[in-house]
Amino acid sequence: MVRDSITIVGASLAGLRAAETLRRDGFSGRISLIGAEVHAPYDRPPLSKQVLAGAWEADRTVLTPADRLELLGLDMRLGRRATGLDLSGRILEVDGVSESYDGLLIATGARCRTLPGTGHLAGVHTLRTLDDSLAILEAMRGDPRRVVVVGAGFIGAEVASTAIGHGVPVTMVEALPVPLGRVLGDMVGSVIAELHLEHGVDLRCGVGVEAVEGGDRVESVRLTDGTVVEADLVVVGIGVVPDTGWLEGSGLTLEDGVVCDETCLAAPNITAAGDVARWPNPRYGEVMRVEHWDNAVEQGAHAARRLLQSEEEAVPYAPVPWFWSDQYDRKIQLAGRARPDDEVRIVSGSLEERRFAALYSNDGRLTAVLGMNRPRHVMQFKGLLEREASLAEAIEFAEGLG
C-alpha cells in the first residue's frame, strides 16, 4: 500500500520502534512522531530499577541517541497531546488543532491506576514516567520514615526492592494471598513473598487500603484489617489502564485498549501497538493486551509494516509474550502465558535456593516457563513455546539440561 506519510501518536518505545522500522524498510515519506511528554523517547524498565536506585542518570534511559534520531528525519513533536480523532474524515486532533493523516499508528500506552481521594496529598506517587521515577528517588533520598508500597505486582515489588537498597523501611500491601498469585500461581508467589520477607520488607498480604491519611502530606495508611501504618511516602502500583480517553467517540472499538484484528489493524489506515493495543493472538486463541517491553518492540514494528501492506500481504501478530523483573539479586523471567490453575513443575534448581526453572502446563500443553536466575533456560524453553511443543517434549528437553 503506497502512503505519502504516517503519523505515530505516542513517543514511546513502540512508537519509536515503529518509526525506525519504517525507515529501515525503506519508507521515505513524512513520519510524524507526536508525544505528550517533553522527553525524547526513553526506556521504562530502568525507572523502577537503575534510575530509582540512583545508579543511572536520566539521560542513560534515552532509547536512541540524538544524532541517530536526527538521521530518521522525523517530524517529532514532544509535549503535544492527541485530543481527538475523526475516522471518516481522517482527521487527528492535536492539542485541539485538527490535522489530516494518511496512515495512523496509535502507541499512547497506558496510565497508572490511582487510589481515590489521594490527589491532594503530597508524598503519594505512581511510577510510570521518568519524572515519576525522579520524584520518588528525591523522596527516598529525603530520609523518609517509611515507604508504603501498595500492590506487590512487578512494579511494586521492584520499588520495594530498590527502596530496601536505599536503606528505607518498606511496608508492601497486597490484596492477594501472595504476590503475583494471579500471574504465577501461589507456589511461585510464595517464593517471591519469602524473598521480600528475607530482605526486611514488612509484607502484608490479603489486605487492602482503606484510606491514605494526612493533611497536605501523607502521614499514614489505614488498611482494611484496621491496622494503621505510618508513612511519609506512598508508591501506588495497582496496575494501569490503556490511554484511550482521547479516542472516545472516534468510532474505534475501545475495550480495555484499542481493539485490533489479528494483524494489528484497528480500522482502515489505523493500527495500534504496545500497552494500548488489544488483539486476538492466534497462538493462544485469546484476545490479549500485553504490557511488556519486548511486546512494545515487536508489535511496534509489526503495526508499522501493517500500514504499508495490502490485505493479502498482512500476516497475524502471534508472539510468545516474554518479560523480566529484577528484585534484589534475583532476575525473574517469564515466557509464555501462565495461568493460576496451570500445573507447575520445577525442572531445574530448587525453590529453596531461589534459583530454578519452572514449566507451566495445562492439559498436557506447555503454556509458559518461569526462571529465577535461570536466563539461559528461559530462552531455551521460549524456543519450545514458539514451536508449540508439548509438555512431554519440554520435560524430555529438561532432562538434558546442564
DSSP letters along 224-276, please? Answer: TTS-EEE-SEEEE-S-EEES-GGGTTSSS-BSSSEE--TTSEEETTEEE-GGG
Task: Please say if the pLDDT value at position 157 is more than 80.
Answer: yes
Q: Can you give the pLDDT at residue 401?
A: 76
Same fold, 114-236 and 329-399: no
Q: Which fold has domain 114-236?
A: FAD/NAD(P)-binding domain (3.50.50)
pLDDT in tens, 281-326: 999 999 999 999 999 999 999 999 999 999 999 999 999 999 999 9
Superfamily of domain 5-111+240-306: FAD/NAD(P)-binding domain (3.50.50.60)
Residue range 141-157: mean pLDDT, rounded = 96
pLDDT in tens, 173-223: 999 999 999 889 999 999 999 999 999 999 999 999 999 999 999 999 999
Task: Please say if the pLDDT value at position 402 is more than 80.
Answer: no
Task: Please say if the pLDDT value at position 329 is more than 70.
Answer: yes
What distance in Å separates the CA atoms of residue 172 and residue 376, rounded to the nearest whole number? 31
What distance in Å separates the CA atoms of residue 148 and residue 229, rounded to the nearest whole number? 8
Q: Can you give the pLDDT at residue 76?
A: 97
Q: Can you give the pLDDT at residue 400?
A: 81
pLDDT in tens, 332-341: 999 999 988 8
Percentage, residues of the chain above pLDDT 90: 94
What distance in Å separates the CA atoms of residue 226 and residue 210, rounded to the nearest whole number? 8
Residue with cell 491532594: 120
pLDDT in tens, 28-73: 999 999 999 999 999 999 999 999 999 999 999 999 999 999 999 9
Contact 332, 325 (CB under 8 A): yes
Pairing of strands 110-112, 240-242: antiparallel
Q: Which helix (H) or strand (E) holds 118?
A: none
Task: Please say if the pLDDT value at position 119 is more than 90.
Answer: no
Grid coordinates of 76:
517529532
Q: Measure CA 10 to chain center.
A: 15
Question: Helix, strand or coil for residue 393?
Answer: helix
Average pLDDT over the chain, rounded to whole?
95
Contact 144, 274 (CB under 8 A): no
Contact 172, 204 (CB under 8 A): yes
CATH code of domain 329-399: 3.30.390.30
What distance in Å separates the CA atoms of residue 188 and residue 217, rounded to the nearest whole number? 37
Q: Can you give the pLDDT at residue 152?
A: 97
Q: Can you give the pLDDT at residue 288?
A: 97
Predicted confidence band of residue 351 (pLDDT cuts 50, 70, 90): very high
Domain range summary for the chain, segments of one domain joined by +: 5-111+240-306, 114-236, 329-399
Q: Can you give the pLDDT at residue 146?
A: 97
